[in-house]
Amino acid sequence: MKMSHIKYFFLIKIARLMYIGFHKDNSEETNVKIIFFNILNFSCLLNQFLATFLYLFMGVYNSAVYSLLLLPVPVLIYYVNYKRKYLLSKLIIFTYYNAIIFVTSCYFSHPYLSYYYIPVIIGSAIVFNTKELKYLLFINFLSFSLLIIENTSLSQYLPRFYQDKNHEETTIIVLVVHVNFILGLLFMYAYYMRLRMKRLIKLNKTFKDAKTELKNQSEDYLLFSEASSHFLKSPIHVFNTFIGKIEQGINENKSYEELKLYFSVIKKNIDEEEKFINNMFDYNKIILTVPQKKSHDLTKILTESLENFKKSKSYFEYVLDIQQVILKTDAQLLNKIITIIADNAYHHNKSQFKSLEIIYNINKNNLTINFTDNGVGINEADRENIFKPYIKINSIDNVKGIGIGLLKAKKAAELINAQIVLAHSNDFGTTFQLVINTNK
Give the separation between CA 93 and CA 71, rounded to whole angstroms: 12
Amino acid residing at 382 = D
Where does the pLDDT of residue 35 fall: very low under 50, low under 70, confident under 90, or very high at 90 and above?
confident
- Which tops the pLDDT comparison, 297 or 391? 297
- Which tops the pLDDT comparison, 435 or 205? 435
Q: In terms of Cα–Cα distance, which of 127, 64, 73 is closest to 99?
A: 73
pLDDT at 434 over 90: yes
Contact 137, 203 (CB under 8 A): no
How many CB atoms within 10 Å of residue 29?
13
Lowest mean pLDDT among 64-68, 109-113, 282-286, 364-368: 109-113
Where does the pLDDT of residue 5 fall: very low under 50, low under 70, confident under 90, or very high at 90 and above?
low
Encode pLDDT of 167-223 as tens digits: 666 667 666 766 776 776 677 667 767 767 777 787 778 778 777 777 766 666 666
Identify the pLDDT of residue 398. 37
Residue ranges covered by each domain of the chain: 2-211, 291-440
Give the separation between CA 308 and CA 124, rounded to whole angstroms: 66
Identify the pLDDT of residue 250. 78
Give the separation between CA 193 and CA 200, rounded to whole angstroms: 10
What is the average per-residue pLDDT within 356-377? 89
pLDDT at 231 over 60: no
pLDDT at 62 over 90: no
pLDDT at 238 over 70: no
pLDDT at 9 over 50: yes
Question: By CB neighbour count within 10 A (0-12 exposed, 13-18 middle, 19+ buried), where does 234 fall?
Answer: middle
Identify the pLDDT of residue 400. 39
Could you give the percent of the chain with pLDDT greater than 90? 12
pLDDT at 22 over 90: no
What is the average per-residue pLDDT within 105-115? 72
Where does the pLDDT of residue 130 fall: very low under 50, low under 70, confident under 90, or very high at 90 and above?
confident
Q: In terms of Cα–Cα distance, which of 402, 433, 435 is closest to 416?
A: 435
Task: Write the DSSP string, 122-188.
Answer: HHHHHHS-GGGHHHHHHHHHHHHHHHHHHTSGGGGGS------S-HHHHHHHHHHHHHHHHHHHHHH
pLDDT at 152 over 70: yes
Which DSSP state fits 113?
G
Identify the pLDDT of residue 372. 92
pLDDT at 356 over 50: yes
CATH 3.30.565.10 fits 291-440, yes or no: yes
Where does the pLDDT of residue 389 fall: very low under 50, low under 70, confident under 90, or very high at 90 and above?
low
Lowest mean pLDDT among 96-105, 145-154, 262-271, 410-419: 262-271
pLDDT at 332 over 50: yes
pLDDT at 125 over 50: yes
> Whole-number mean pLDDT of the chain?
78
